[in-house]
Structure 1
């Protein structure tokens, strides 16, 4: 597709055009040519259009001629073509000098060349490009529309239209988005993400992805909240015009946003369901049809525990890999329930994003899921304690802590029983205060800020804790006992008060 410029018109000798001034602007593109003889032609033409005049609209006064050039240039007009049939006033040196200064082309057109010939030349060149663009745009949007009415995905439809195998990659989590048949090669994703390390805040407009010494794909950024790129797989460079590429990016970006919002809604519904199962407020009969919708009915399940800030990563990675799960936050931990058969794959996928995970034993009854949550929390504490990535409830126990839930309950009450009874009887928060104080490494300011209380209030509570327990918050031995008892309490409760 060609793009006509003012210089192209001058180069066509049969049109009889000659440049009087503004040689520096001959590369201005021309999308239309329009004749106008009004006093203010800049108000009647659009940007990149060529003004054709017999000279009636050209004022005789020098200053007004200069102003004419300024107004036309300010409006983005491609240039002015003046007929040399003696109807135009003399073009002053000041006008031509202003045109040179603004790189605004001033042409003269031979009286033997009708304006219609000039107009047709521009129209044919312009229309052929515009018609091609409109046709391409129509096909792209038809592909997007029909993708919602057929089994094939939007990516597959657009791939067929554009002639490239298109994929969407989340370069933050290294996953392929918008599942389609024939996923992109893992080596290509790794090579792409490696090239973008440290540059996720500003993705390049175009990036060649090489695996070894071979071009594997070409990637383009997408206008999405997730950090995604459109990847055209193939060993040859992608030759897409900017027009088609821009609209393909927009269409796919919209689809990614739509799919992301839908998944977030599904995750929220799943979290509410999981929370009801944990709380025991939803019976098996009521839960069964809802589990069928998630693909988790009639399965053996396991629960994975992890620090709650990693919940979003877990949902994105598993969602992109189309693995059924329920997830929610309880206390300061995130929990994920999935089919036991998928756990090994899940652990492998989440490993690069979550430093510590605790795995429960398997269960096939909903009534045991709350126990599974406690087990996963127990295993998570073990993983944190020894610095391992994954710990299983059946084989791990946090160092120096009891190995069973009943023992954990006993250990917690042995140290914190007086505080727990006092809190329950007087509606106080002494256990919470002690937990926050030790978690903040005994920082008074950090603890007061977290609990949103005054430092004097914190001092009163700490004195009360020491009086009730007979232990000091300054003694290393007593602090160790407090800390282990708090961990045992968390495990025994599974994060559920």
Structure 2
């Protein structure tokens, strides 16, 4: 039988005195918790007996009624106020409100510590609490040992007598594959509450909308995640159970993330074959369809300045939002094949960070066009770097029409840079790289030397040698234009290996 507020009052050694709220004496007590916060329910799940130091009780009727209304509305079963010489008296309006709400308010003498009340509640509820906690971790142990993992969320729902949803804290989208989505009105209320707190979730959020009442706690995960319990079929899940549940869900998410990391590596192999032209249109159509990618609308995106950690965050973030994708890192660039929309670009910006520079190809159309799309994305990201833009699209970033045709681009590269490329090959030198850096650094000898890690005088010598080999003065505007165009054409044709 459930331990009730009435049982506490009838325990002689606790010496509790009922001040108000007689109609609520049959409420079950799940736990006893001390708190002197103004909003203690932010760290209580419901069903707890709140124990409050009398010295921290406000004297004002407004403050006392606000406290009683708040704890009652958020599911506390009652409140005990510790008496001492500084404890203010309960106001008539506070007593009247507690009576109207059927919310028991009790006092306890100074000589009886809160520990005695807490022990009485713990002794009465302890066996059931331990049993539920043990079942939660048994379910997790079973999920770790089974392959493939079973839907353990349903078992957790049975053990905790409620529905459970695991959501992305920012969007409210399902974060755990076995989780069902929340009812839409409740999902919006949860995300609005979290957004109103700028993404910060306290110990527990109490969210109510229409017939729904939910408790929300944070889950430790690489992505902002929340677990929501609702549709309670018995006493509300208490704070300790919620904390154990959050830890259990973190284990399930870690398993899911490990599976997705494996999928990312397999996807990188597929992406590599596409980008190298080693996959037929038939095989490419099949591989892309299996991953939810529409070959007619998917684009290649190249990103510069992406760390390995950011790459992992991107993969998890895209998966969390059900955006189909393939990822492949080559040298300093990260390539992604995915549908490009305002939403996906927003996710890219968010997950890659403000330092990343992004170039977007034209739509793929057919799998065999992937190598060309990679060159388009590479060229677009170089244009973004040159123009100080964060995102550049191949379709919009044309500087000269000649650069839209790879064959024409090869002609330009050969005619303008051919002697330098041949010289670099023969002498293992860096003339082309030096020229590119010099122009990108606005012909600053100091900045060029710093980026290349060489002496300033070495830059001077190389520039003179470049002029001798090409027969062009770098100070001439026409020569600068030709060199710049040829270098960008070379970018378009050069795909990192």
Query: What does residue 128 of structure 1 align with?
Result: 124
Q: 1:10 to 1:296 in 2, by over 3 A?
A: closer
Give 2:39's aligned residue.
Answer: none
Ranges in structure 1 where 5+ consecutive residues have no aligned partner: 14-26, 30-102, 107-118
The 5 Å alignment of 1:23-34 reads none
Say which one has the larger Rg.
Answer: 1
* Cα separation, 2, equivalents of 1:411 and 1:223: 54
* SS, match of residue 307 in structure 1: strand
- The answer on whether the counterparts of 2:362 and 2:376 sit within 8 Å (CA) in structure 1 is yes
Change (3 A) 1:426 1:221: same
- Contact conserved, 2:274 with 2:370, CA < 8 A, in 1? yes
- Structure 1 residue 247, shift from structure 2 partner: 0.7
The residue aligned with 2:483 is 482
Change in 2 beyond 3 A, CA 1:216/1:306: farther
Does the alignment pair 1:138 with 2:138? no
Measure, in 1, the Cα distance between the counterparts of 2:176 and 2:326. 20
Alignment match of 1:359 (pick from 358, 361, 367): 361
Give the secondary structure class of the aligned counterpart of 1:136: helix
Aligned to 1:334: 334
Q: 1:188 to 1:420 in 2, by over 3 A?
A: farther
Q: What is the CA deviation profile of residues 187-220 of structure 1, one whole-angstrom value per residue up to 9, with x for unaligned ones?
A: 45753563354xx6x6533345689x99885432
Asked if the contact 2:174–2:180 (Cα under 8 Å) also holds between the matched residues in 1, the reply is no
User: Deviations 1:388-407 (Å, cap 9, x if unpaired)?
Assistant: 9674x6x5451335221112
The match for 1:304 is 300
- 2:486 & 2:171 partners in 1: Cα distance? 37
Compared CA separation, residues 400 and 233, structure 1 to 2 (3 A): farther
**1:279 aligned residue:** 276
Q: Where does residue 75 of structure 1 map in the other structure?
A: none
Q: 1:249 aligns with which of 246, 251, 254?
A: 246
Deviations 1:218-254 (A, max 9, x none): 432222233333344679xx94322101111111112
Native 8 Å contact 1:219 1:229 kept in 2: yes
| Helix, strand or coil at the partner of 1:337 | strand
Matches of 2:439 and 2:365, distance apart in 1: 35
Inter-partner Cα distance in structure 2 for 1:230 and 1:418 = 63
The unaligned stretches of length 5 or more in structure 2 are 17-31, 35-109, 350-357
CA distance in 2, matches of 1:177, 1:256: 8
Distance 1:295 1:206 in 2: 37
* Aligned counterpart, 1:411: 412
Quickly say closer, same or farther: Cα 1:190–1:131, change in 2 above 3 A: closer
Deviation of 1:423 after TM superposition, in Å, equals 1.7
Residues 460 and 178 of structure 1: CA distance in aligned 2, closer, same or farther (over 3 Å): farther
Check 1:292–1:470 CA distance in 2 against 1; reply closer, same or farther (3 A cut).
closer
Matches of 1:441 and 1:422 in 2, distance apart? 24
Name the counterpart of 2:436.
Answer: 435
Is the deviation greater in 403-412 or in 147-156? 147-156
Whether 1:225 aligns to 2:222 is yes
Taking structure 1 as the reference length, what is the TM-score of the superposition? 0.60
1:446–1:142 distance in 2 versus 1, CA, 3 Å: farther
Counterpart secondary structure, 1:353? helix
Deviation for aligned residue 1:481:
3.5
Asked if 1 retains the 8 angstrom alpha-carbon contact of 2:166 and 2:179, the reply is no
Once the two structures are superposed, what CA deviation does each residue of 1:311-355 show, in whole Å capped at 9, x if it has no partner?
4454223312344432113354432235xxxx2xx5243121336
Q: Secondary structure at the match of 2:346?
A: coil
Q: State the Cα distance separating 1:455 from its structure 2 match.
A: 3.8
- Which structure has more relative contact order (CA 8 Å, sep 6+)? It is 2
Shift of 1:379: 5.4
Q: What residue is the counterpart of 2:47 in the other structure? A: none
Partners of 2:292 and 2:141 in 1: how far apart? 32
What is the SS of the residue equivalent to 1:352? helix
Residue aligning to 2:160: 162
What TM-score do the two structures reach when normalised by structure 2?
A: 0.60
How well do the aligned residues superpose, as a CA RMSD in angstroms? 4.9
SS of 2:341 mapped into structure 1: helix
Equivalent in the alignment of 2:325: 325
Do the aligned partners of residues 126 and 478 (structure 1) sit closer, same or farther apart at CA in structure 2, a change above 3 Å counting? Answer: same
Alpha-carbon contact 1:303-1:359 (below 8 Å) kept: yes
**For the structure 1 residues 306 and 332, does the alpha-carbon distance in structure 2 shift closer, same or farther, using more than 3 Å as the test?**
same
- Describe the SS at the equivalent of 1:225: coil
Residues 125 and 162 of structure 1: is their aligned pair in 2 closer, same or farther, counting only changes over 3 Å? closer
- Name the structure 2 match of 1:11: 14
- Post-superposition Cα deviations, 1:14-57, rounded to whole Å, max 9, x if no partner, equal xxxxxxxxxxxxx999xxxxxxxxxxxxxxxxxxxxxxxxxxxx
Cα offsets for 1:265-319 (capped at 9, x unmatched): 3323422442344235x56599789948964799668432132327445422331
**CA displacement at 1:177 relative to structure 2:** 1.8
**Residue 181 to residue 250, structure 1, CA distance change in 2 (3 Å):** closer
User: Are positions 1:316 and 2:319 aligned together?
Assistant: no
Q: How many corresponding residue pairs?
A: 380
Q: Which digits, 9 at most, give the CA deviation of each residue in 1:152-175, with x for residues without a partner?
A: 634444344434443334446875
Matches of 2:270 and 2:263, distance apart in 1: 11
- Mark the CA change 1:167 to 1:453 in structure 2 (over 3 Å): closer, same or farther: farther
Residues 126-151 of structure 1: CA deviation (Å, up to 9, x unaligned): 54322111111122224435556588
- Mapping of residues 388-399 of structure 1, within 5 Å: 391=393, 396=396, 398-399=398-399
Alignment partner, residue 463 of structure 2 = 462
Cα 1:11–1:334 shift into 2, 3 Å: closer
